Chains A and B, each alone.
Chain A
Amino acid sequence: MIGNNRHLLDLDTTSAEDIRRILDTAEGMKEISTRKIKKVPTLRGKTVVNLFFEPSTRTRTSFEIAAKRLSADAVNFTASASSTAKGETLLDTAKNLDSMAPDVVVIRHRFSGAPEILARNLDCSVVNAGDGCHQHPTQGLLDLFTVRERKGRLDGLKVSIIGDIAHSRVARSDISGFTTMGAEVFVSGPSTMIPTGIERLGVRVADSFEHALEGADVIIMLRIQLERRSGSLIPTLREYARFFGLNRERLRLARPDALVMHPGPINRGVEISSDIADGPESVILDQVENGVAVRMAVLYLLTGGSDETTD
């Protein structure tokens, strides 16, 4: 359980206290991955099903490693190899899975709200690993963890999220998580990619990309996808890179100790220049590393663990 929640579906409804508990637990988990034998028996006998309806290598692998380091049995169930191709509904898939008595189902789905359907119909815990344009809570948590680790705090930081906010589940989880933890969140990007009423989620829409960068402690660059809406959001990647790409010159606007983050996979030379991606400000690979620890913490807490890690 995370607070009163049996599931982790979003960071919208996750309290600051619960977020802090997950991050604290993740600190202990991170240490496990540095051991010679990167495995503890904590979740022995527990079953974690990775139910991925969308192709994803990194997130799925991260969850799988997290489960295995805790000695849970991780099973991967991917859409292409599953019965969904034969027209089974999500509800039926859920009920079938439930009959196999898993402890946690991790779901990635292209439609927003799909994890809710599982949560309402499964006896086990459900972890959202990204649903449509809605949320990707473990990504949000690993971003919080990475920033807290580097900055020692979250409260009062200026966090700027840049890119296609409208279609980004990472943006929504980051917005929920960082605002809940007391950071000041700005969003920026081409106005075609700023969704209606985003201010109601507690963020400020920066007047310009440059304004978003000014004095920022954390810059989160989102992956840009041209294929989305074929040209009605941005004309070309070339133009996007020129006006909304993060490069050395623009980064000077931010605080000297600013962190640059990206949920990956990165488009070098589009939303982020290579020298920034590989530069000292970049914590992109830390994010990936921390992802495993955060997911270990989430799996551990949901399957009945208390705050402290046990061997």
Chain B
Amino acid sequence: MKRLIKGGRILDPASGRDEILDLLIEDGRIARLEKDMKDRDGGDVFDASGLAVMPGFIDMHCHLREPGYEYKETVATGCAAAVKGGITSLMCMANTDPVNDCASVTTHILERAHEAGLAKVYPVGCLTKGMRGESLSEMGELAASGCIAVSDDGRPVPSGEIMRRAIAYAGIYGLLVIDHAEDLTIAGDGVMHEGYVSTMLGLEGIPASAAFSEVARNIALIKEFGGRIHIAHVSTAMVVGLVRRAKAEGLAVTAETCPHYFTLDHEAVIGYDTNAKVKPPLRTAEDVEAIIEGLADGAIDVIATDHAPHHADEKQVEFDLAAFGISGLETAFALTMGLVHGGRIPILQAVSKWTDAPAAVTGIRGGSLGVGEPADVVIADLDAQWRVNPEEFLSRGRNSPFAGMEVRGQVTATFVDGRLVYTREKGITGK
């Protein structure tokens, strides 16, 4: 089975390519990239003229909610939202019900993903048994059944000793440890960033030090005992600084941020918008600036969504009672393009944060248009203007603080292993 993607602007950070080329897909893999290729073998031709052609995005931080919270999202609806957002591979966090701390849950998720047949799903297992922070999870079994990382995302690991042992133990099975960094003894019952906005609104704050304290601890552990760690959803200037210094020292530390942390600050909460309630919280304008600088200078390797879909009922309540999280799969690309259009980050670097960079951090195959790679390809109109309307989301989670925002950059088609799974015109086009 052949397919020719003709006339598109190839953006492939792995090879540094930014040029108009035709791309030939054969048997689900990238076969060739050439100028003016002839479609002599009669394969399917996809006209990409005027559009960007990029490796499928890898989102290393999602919540798919299945099993247990299917009313918020299922693996199938999450994967549909993903491919609409250009994401062809994603990692789903373990805070389901039951939590993903054993082979049966991992297998269940993988089976659901296989049935959906859209994005490729890589489960993240629990770091501790039952996500209780007390004893190590069965990481060998989790790795053997398909997990590629471990994390107690959503619940930081309070015990430094458990964290130390987990980093060492995960290494045996090649599992990446993803750190949801938050010192709960500092964060307390906070519901938003602690600053003048929390003061004005009379809401309990989460100090920026809460993130710093935990990241500093974990970097110290790596420095003394070795191993590697990935810092999830960096939201503060202080943590960007910590990670930058750790990298300069040659420590095996990588980091991600999310589109909301470089697009919004804590003022988004004014009016008690529960859709802007997220953990870690939206920080200050200075933090936003530091995050963008961190993306530009490489302190932050990866952009991930931290897609956290919730039911409307969990958001249409008093701010203190609302669930934390943003449904992010379908806005991530446009918000990333916001940095490019704003002149903050060159296009290839922005694409890299979604492709070869997360591939390098996670070991997921893909993230490149190199010959022989899986034909996970995203076609996008980099300039298309559109207005975010959560009612049109394929995700069950409509919780977006970006509702109504004018954005620029839109995915027009997504291929997974050479199969066209989504187009802007037809929606989900197949399994």
Contacts and interface: CB of A to CB of B under 8 A. Distances in A.
Interface of A: 12, 89-91, 109, 111-114, 116-117, 131-135, 166, 169, 172, 195-201
A116 to B, nearest CB: 5
Interface stretch (B173-181, B193-201, B376-384): B193-201
A198 B199 contact: yes
Contacts of B196: 196-201
B201 A111 contact: no
B112 to A, nearest CB: 31
A197 B318 contact: no
Contact of B201 (A90, A113, A199, A200): A113
B200 A132 contact: no
A172 B203 CA distance: 12
A172 B200 contact: yes
B360 interface: no
Contacts, number: 69
Given A111-B321, A112-B272, A117-B318, A197 B202 contact: no
Nearest to B320: A111
Nearest to A172: B202
Contacts of B194: 196
Contacts of A195: 198-199, 205
Contacts of B200: 12, 172, 200-201
A116 B202 contact: no
B425 interface: no
B202 A90 contact: no
B429 interface: no
Size bracket of the B interface:
20 to 34
B316 A112 contact: no
Contacts of A201: 196, 199-200
A132 B316 CA distance: 18
A114 B199 contact: no
Given A113-B272, A196-B196, A196-B198, A133 B318 contact: no
A91 B317 contact: yes
Contacts of B422: none
Contacts of A117: 272, 316-318
Contact of A89 (B195, B201, B207, B313): B313
B271 interface: yes
B319 interface: yes
Interface in B309-361: 313, 316-321
25 contacts: A111-B321, A112-B201, A112-B202, A112-B203, A112-B319, A112-B320, A113-B203, A113-B319, A117-B317, A117-B318, A131-B202, A132-B320, A134-B201, A134-B203, A166-B199, A169-B202, A195-B199, A196-B195, A196-B205, A197-B196, A197-B198, A199-B196, A200-B196, A200-B200, A201-B199
Interface string B289-320: 00000000000000000000000010011111
A116 B197 CA distance: 16
Contact of A91 (B197, B272, B316): B316
Contacts of B316: 89, 91, 117
A308 B321 CA distance: 42
Given A172-B200, A195-B199, A196-B205, A90 B317 contact: yes
